[in-house]
Structure 1
Amino acid sequence: MARIIVVGAGMAGLAAAARLATRDNSVLVCEASDSVGGALGSWRHDDLVFDTGAYTLTLPAAYRDLFIKTGSRKKSAAATLEDRLDLQPLDPVRRYFFPDGTRLDLPNASRGRLVAAFDEALGSGAGAAWLRVVDQGSRVWDVIRPALIEAPGAGGRELARLLRTTAGRRALTPFRSLRQVASRWFDDPRLFLLLDDYARQAGADPRSAPTALAARIYVEQAFGAWRIVGGMHKLAEELGQRVLDRGAEIRHGARVARIERSTSGALSGVTLESGERIAADVVVADVDRAVLARLLGRQESEAAYSAAITTFCLVVEHNAAPPMPHESVLLAENGPAVRVHVAAEQPAAWTVHVPANGNQQPDLGEVLDLLASRGLDVRGKARVVHTITASDREAATGVPGGAAYGPAVNDLRSALLRSPVKQPVPGLFHVGASARPGSGLSFAALSGWQAAELIQPRR
């Protein structure tokens, strides 16, 4: 039995903790805050709950496998993901509002309906053009899934080997950006606005976003998009409970100050801010790479991070706005979109994500004017109950600048080769948005799985 400390109760840390505790290890999760889920945050106001992080689940198989593999063996036990949570497929996945007034409802997991929706909104041929991007994403997924996603410990060598193959080069187009590839198929500038939004959601500058990011478009279309009735925070709560059910401990208010090493350089445990030292054989760090560097006493090298956002939690008067889809995206000609999330069972609770401009706080009045210009006029009928700034996110997570999507993706390596799960320090493992395989809710579960397999393989 190994003594394992997990630093941070984010989704990747919880995923690793549940798997490792199931394998009869002594697991302690040290979490600085009073809740679990990390960036998968929520805010409560009276009887309303606002999802302030991710609010859509793609690739649910990652969590289905996690719950099955960590479930009780009793036949009567509610062990699977669907036993614990009510997952519902979204339709539409989201509604896009283009600057020219065009609206597009994105269908869920249907190529035929996707073509019809694009052609109706953007004109004949738009659907076929967008499917070319989806198919490019399919090629990307087919080559990276076995070589990098499902190969714990894979890294630069595997990527180099992949790029020596015809299929790898055709899928990843190492010398061409996603925009350059799509330009062969797109003749409508509105399609580029949509493509750019996907790039920004992955933490990339659309001008240089690598073609590898097309895999995210494919995964959403091929495996569908889902919501959790009651809010995405329920997934974090159920996973936290699964960790406890497997015999692990979650200690809240336990902020780790240092990861300790012995004189030989091997990992020996952690020291909390309170001064308490806890011995361990293995440490799994679910923190940003800049935080990991500080915990190791290293100087983090300068690195670019993705854009920051400000989140407004609004209570909207009953019947003040038209029926809302799960997510509405107000695309802009130049720059990031404004996103509005409204859960079906809580139509009064609006979570509005607004691009942050440095230290300048977005003006809510201007945001409401923008919503009104796209047909969502709630001016005078909405009140702010909570605001989360980029500084708030940085204070809570340690991510530089409060970046919404972790380290920036500016090339193929930064898209596919983030910080390695198995670190150079013996006994240290890194999971989460700035580790492999990358950012995103389902990738967090896969990151935790990779760590568990590298620590204690289960064949």
Structure 2
Amino acid sequence: MIGAGMGALAAAARLAVAGHRVVVHERTDTYGGALRRLERDGFSFDTGPGLLPLPAVYRDLFVKTGKEPLEHCVDLVQVDPSSRHVFADGTRVSLPNASRAGVVAALDEALGSGAGKRWGDFLVRAREAWDRTRRPLLEEPLWPNWQVLAEREPYPAVPHKRLLRTRRAGTLAEVGAWELRDARLTALLESHALAHGLDPRTTPASAAVLPYMEHAFGTWYVRGGLRELARAVYERCLARKVEFRFGADVTGVLEKDGRASGVELADGTVAEADFVIAGVAPGTLDRLSAQAVVRGDGDVPPQPATASRVTVLLALRGARPEGTAHRTVVHAADREAELDALFGPAARNPRPTVTVLRPDDPELVPDPEHEAVTLTTVVPARPGESCDALTESMITVAERAIPDLRDRLLWQEVRTPADIAEATGAEGGAVPVPALAADGGRLLHPSNNTRVPGLFAVGGWAHPGGGLPHAGMSGALVAGLIVEGPEFRGSQ
């Protein structure tokens, strides 16, 4: 196995339980891919994802690979409120976790009568899109006729009369403009796409499943940080006798008699194998293989590396105030300027949308009189650019959620796209997006099978795409394809 990201770890544990000897070669000195941790002066921060949607994927992994369930290995807690939003006009709203009635009431109170109903009706339609795409886009290997997913828009948009024509929303931005009809509700909707580095003006309406997943399955946090989830999966692998070789840089995939037969390492050694699983970006996998692995007529084309993240880690003096929301999204004052800066040729927006994470977790701080805060924003995947000005802008934006932020600041650390590239190997520090239907397949990911028999792709750059739940499912799919063969059709 090449790489020790979360998808690879999930596949390794499942294959070991099925009786395979699994050896993982990881070029860095640790496991977990993007799930890293920074520790300094008694503070601890996640430098990758900070929240876990759809924990059922990892609950299933632990059920299928041992006696101890997930909750016995990590302290999994539901975040409530799910999120707090600070909109451009100063309006603020806190949204309860996994409660449609609570969310409707909160939106009506904050945004005015009728806002909650429009959002609630949207979630009903989003559920239809989820029901239509859940299995093919999350639980099953990519269909050979994946073009069916690419051509059909699963979101049942409401007919909208515009001049003399009746139209239906085809993009997320159109859903917001035509169905939600409130700039703040539109910002709420689009923030779910923006968090994945997607432009709502071009992202298909099928992305409605992103807010629906959070609404239906809740938002979760792992006590001690999401790095603890990586630790738990890694320890489950060790318990199932998976072998790890860190600092082992794979330079090539070996082939014999037309199929993968092992890997070659940078030190010239060779590791033979019946199957090779690669948790790397498609371009990297192509360079490792003697033939083009995931490109060709009829294949899903690899996604371009477009968006990354900048994360600012803040050590604050003073206790976390009672009643503070775990997650606050501070929306950009100028939506179009932000989108143009991210997805067009314009200069970087000086006031981006910033997500502020303030966990109520004593394990992250040296004592109760300090607070660990994480700020995150989306940026283009352009390594090498200075983030100094952006960091200052992010802190200024975050002051709308934490007014005394600068007075309390002890020190800060910044994680850039270059750091993500170092941790994950992704070009430009790009972060893969979840697979989405429609739009000609632009947001689908290459199949877990490759053109080389015996060689499989796992992780965020393979089906079903980026995000912790999707990475976990990619591991389940690859394990199923190896154990059961081509007839494997996914979890039941």
Q: Same fold (TM over 0.5)?
A: yes
Shift of 1:209: 0.8
* 1-structure distance, mates of 2:77, 2:149: 39
Checking the alignment, whether the CA contact within 8 Å between 2:307 and 2:378 is kept in structure 1 is: yes
The one-letter code matched in structure 2 to 1:278 is A
Do residues 131 (structure 1) and 120 (structure 2) align?
yes
Give TM-score scaled by structure 2 length.
Answer: 0.83
* 1-structure distance, mates of 2:61, 2:168: 33
Do residues 281 (structure 1) and 274 (structure 2) align?
yes
Give the 3 Å change call, closer, same or farther, for CA 415–96 of structure 1 in structure 2.
farther
Give the aligned partner of residue 424 of structure 1: 451
The one-letter code matched in structure 2 to 1:176 is G
Q: 1:352 aligns with which of 349, 366, 375?
A: 375
Give the aligned partner of residue 186 of structure 1: 180
Shift of 1:381: 2.4
Residue-by-residue CA offset, 1:224-255 (whole Å, 9 max, x unaligned): 11111111111100100001111111111112
Q: 2:130 aligns with which of 141, 157, 169?
A: 141
* 2-structure distance, mates of 1:215, 1:355: 20
Do residues 229 (structure 1) and 223 (structure 2) align?
yes
The one-letter code matched in structure 1 to 2:310 is T
Give the 3 Å change call, closer, same or farther, for CA 445–161 of structure 1 in structure 2.
closer
Give the 3 Å change call, closer, same or farther, for CA 256–228 of structure 1 in structure 2.
same
* 2-structure distance, mates of 1:435, 1:48: 34
Instruction: Report SS of the residue matched to 2:406.
Output: coil
Shift of 1:163: 5.8
Residue-by-residue CA offset, 1:14-47 (whole Å, 9 max, x unaligned): 0000000000101001112222110122211133
Shift of 1:416: 5.6
Give the 3 Å change call, closer, same or farther, for CA 194–169 of structure 1 in structure 2.
closer
Give the 3 Å change call, closer, same or farther, for CA 139–322 of structure 1 in structure 2.
same
**Structure 2: segments with no counterpart, 5+ residues:** 159-166, 296-300, 339-351, 365-369
The equivalences for 1:164-203 within 5 A come to 168=154, 170=156, 176-203=170-197
* 1-structure distance, mates of 2:85, 2:155: 32
The equivalences for 1:15-414 within 5 A come to 15-72=10-67, 79-152=68-141, 154-155=142-143, 157-158=145-146, 160=148, 168=154, 170=156, 176-262=170-256, 264-296=257-289, 304-319=304-319, 324-332=324-332, 333-334=334-335, 335=338, 336-345=352-361, 346=364, 348-356=371-379, 358=382, 359-363=385-389, 364-405=391-432, 412-414=439-441
Deviates more, 1:189-198 or 1:407-416: 407-416
Instruction: Report SS of the residue matched to 1:340.
Output: strand
Checking the alignment, whether the CA contact within 8 Å between 1:147 and 1:158 is kept in structure 2 is: no
The one-letter code matched in structure 2 to 1:11 is M
Do residues 452 (structure 1) and 447 (structure 2) align?
no
Tell me how large the CA RMSD over aligned residues is: 2.8
* 2-structure distance, mates of 1:169, 1:325: 31
Checking the alignment, whether the CA contact within 8 Å between 1:393 and 1:402 is kept in structure 2 is: yes
Shift of 1:406: 5.3
* 2-structure distance, mates of 1:270, 1:32: 13
Shift of 1:402: 0.9
Question: Number of residues paired by the alignment?
Answer: 444
Checking the alignment, whether the CA contact within 8 Å between 2:207 and 2:436 is kept in structure 1 is: no
Residue-by-residue CA offset, 1:50-77 (whole Å, 9 max, x unaligned): 01111111111111110000004xxxxx
Give the 3 Å change call, closer, same or farther, for CA 433–197 of structure 1 in structure 2.
same
* 2-structure distance, mates of 1:343, 1:256: 37
Instruction: Report SS of the residue matched to 2:395.
Output: helix
* 1-structure distance, mates of 2:144, 2:138: 13
Shift of 1:92: 0.8
Give the 3 Å change call, closer, same or farther, for CA 26–302 of structure 1 in structure 2.
closer
Checking the alignment, whether the CA contact within 8 Å between 2:31 and 2:230 is kept in structure 1 is: yes
Give the aligned partner of residue 76 of structure 1: none
Give the 3 Å change call, closer, same or farther, for CA 96–261 of structure 1 in structure 2.
same
Shift of 1:95: 1.3
**Structure 1: segments with no counterpart, 5+ residues:** 1-5, 73-78
Give the aligned partner of residue 3 of structure 1: none
Checking the alignment, whether the CA contact within 8 Å between 2:25 and 2:244 is kept in structure 1 is: yes
* 2-structure distance, mates of 1:354, 1:242: 32
Give the 3 Å change call, closer, same or farther, for CA 287–133 of structure 1 in structure 2.
farther
* 2-structure distance, mates of 1:313, 1:107: 26
Checking the alignment, whether the CA contact within 8 Å between 1:271 and 1:278 is kept in structure 2 is: yes
Residue-by-residue CA offset, 1:398-432 (whole Å, 9 max, x unaligned): 21221234599796354663011111110111111
Checking the alignment, whether the CA contact within 8 Å between 1:285 and 1:292 is kept in structure 2 is: yes
Instruction: Report SS of the residue matched to 1:401.
Output: helix
Give the 3 Å change call, closer, same or farther, for CA 20–414 of structure 1 in structure 2.
same
Give the 3 Å change call, closer, same or farther, for CA 171–287 of structure 1 in structure 2.
farther
Shift of 1:212: 1.9
Shift of 1:260: 1.6
Shift of 1:177: 1.4
Checking the alignment, whether the CA contact within 8 Å between 1:406 and 1:439 is kept in structure 2 is: yes
Instruction: Report SS of the residue matched to 2:180.
Output: coil
